[in-house]
Copies of this chain bind each other. A is one copy, B any other.
Amino acid sequence: MKIKAPKGMRDFYPEDMRRQNWLFDAWRRASRAFGFEEYEGPIFEDLALYTLKSGEGIVSEIFHFESRGGDHFAIRPEMTPTLARMVAARANAMPAPIKWFSLPRMCRAERPQRGRLREFFQWNADILGVEDPLADAEIIALAVEFFRSVGLTAEDVVIRVNSRRLAAAALTSLGIAPERHEQAFALIDRHERLPADVFDTMWTEAFGESPSAGRLTEFLKTSSREETLRLARESGEAGAAAADQFDELWTRLDEFGVSDWRAFDLRIVRGLAYYTGIVFEAHTRGGELRALLGGGRYDDLTGLLDGPRVPGVGFGMGDAPVFEALKSLDKLPTPGESLDVFLIDADAALFPQVLRIAGELRQTGLRVDFSYKRAAIGKQFRQADARGAQVAIVVGAELAARGELTVKHLASGAQRGVSTNELRDDAWKALGLKPA
């Protein structure tokens, strides 16, 4: 019987896993450089955790099941509800700011024929418990540091930043009443993903000509930060406070050294009702791909869960969009197999010595391997090359004669004798190797 991986799910063979681990390492390194701590949660949660936040509509988009005990569970489609649950349980015991990240695996019941992944990994980072624009700036700087660390530049990627509160002031100035802002945001969020005529029809159906789809589109596209802040300041006290906070965010981004990467963009509003302050997305400058990340500030992470009020700011970045962007920019690495030492016997009778030396070297953390089949030296050297070994150690007659092994650096071809004593004292040094 032939059984394949479920549609939309990925197998990670070693070459795929090396690339996946390369991304996980980069996500972790950036998070830790910024003082974030890692957390994790269960792969499935009570279904209620998701319907509570997103309504019953979410049920058709997630994988869910009933356990024998009659509980309704769902494989997590996002990490925020888990984060909210965990923080609500301990919010009073944790000093702010809480800076947490996670690299959750998650699933969504996408229709496989659309070729979308049903399982993916996502980098989540959040700063909780503070309303300071400093946190907004730091979370954006964190995203930038990841992009920078994987070889991208401000010419490849832009972080498009807006504020829900500035956008609200702008919509009011266009004649859209506050009670209709949420509906307008949801439509505007789809603007770039819909064909222009489809968007225009949808907008006109909802808002008629006040304003017209054309006027709205033009306004959102061309409004500068200065104009938007001026409009907000003129709109009253709340607008003025939002403008001040946005100014502070801009200054903090300057101080963090990431000004080149940011752009004010009134079209970025994000679709979720959840966001209440700044909102942002990262895109390739070409702009032809979907967003690399999306995030923003929320007033209360744990409100639905009876926790104390916890404001915060955060983002989520999926693995697939990052790989797509790196590929389109020709910056996707292909990490090869790597090994520190490949042991070679000059004579099959010496193979037990190969195993003894392997056993000892592996205890030092060196990555060591050898051929399972006894073969000519030349063939063993070719295996060493194929496995990406840095050095080959030949176990030959010199071992019995004077306790010496021949060490060959495969890249340079340089070769020298190393005594087993030197190897035992400090194998890394004796072999001229350093931990990766």
Contacts and interface: CB of A to CB of B under 8 A. Distances in A.
Contacts of A21: 38
A148 interface: yes
A132 B97 CA distance: 56
A52 interface: yes
Interface stretch (A187-195, A227-235, A253-261, A410-418): A253-261
A51 to B, nearest CB: 10
A85 interface: yes
B366 A33 contact: yes
Given A5-B42, A85-B5, A35 B387 contact: yes
A45 to B, nearest CB: 7
B1 A52 contact: yes
Given A13-B86, A17-B37, A42 B255 contact: no
Contact of A306 (B1, B68, B112): B1
A9 B65 CA distance: 16
A39 B63 contact: no
A286 B112 CA distance: 52
Contacts of A35: 339, 367-369, 387
A48 interface: yes
Interface in A1-23: 1-6, 9-14, 17-18, 20-21
Interface stretch (A204-212, A275-283, A355-363): A355-363
A29 B363 CA distance: 10
Nearest to A134: B372
A188 B404 CA distance: 49
Interface string A252-294: 1001111000000000000000000000000000000000000
Contacts of A105: 43, 105
Contacts of A100: 14
A126 B49 CA distance: 38
A196 to B, nearest CB: 32
A333 interface: no
Contacts of A304: 1
Nearest to A127: B372
A369 B85 CA distance: 26
B68 A73 contact: no
| Closest A-B pairs by Cβ, 4 of them | A35-B369, A65-B65, A9-B42, A14-B37
Interface of A: 1-6, 9-14, 17-18, 20-21, 29, 32-35, 37-46, 48-49, 52, 60, 63-65, 67-69, 71, 73, 75, 82, 85-86, 89-90, 96-97, 99-100, 105, 107, 109, 111-112, 119, 130, 132, 134-135, 141, 145, 148-149, 251-252, 255-258, 304-306, 337, 339, 352, 355-356, 358-360, 362-363, 365-369, 372, 387
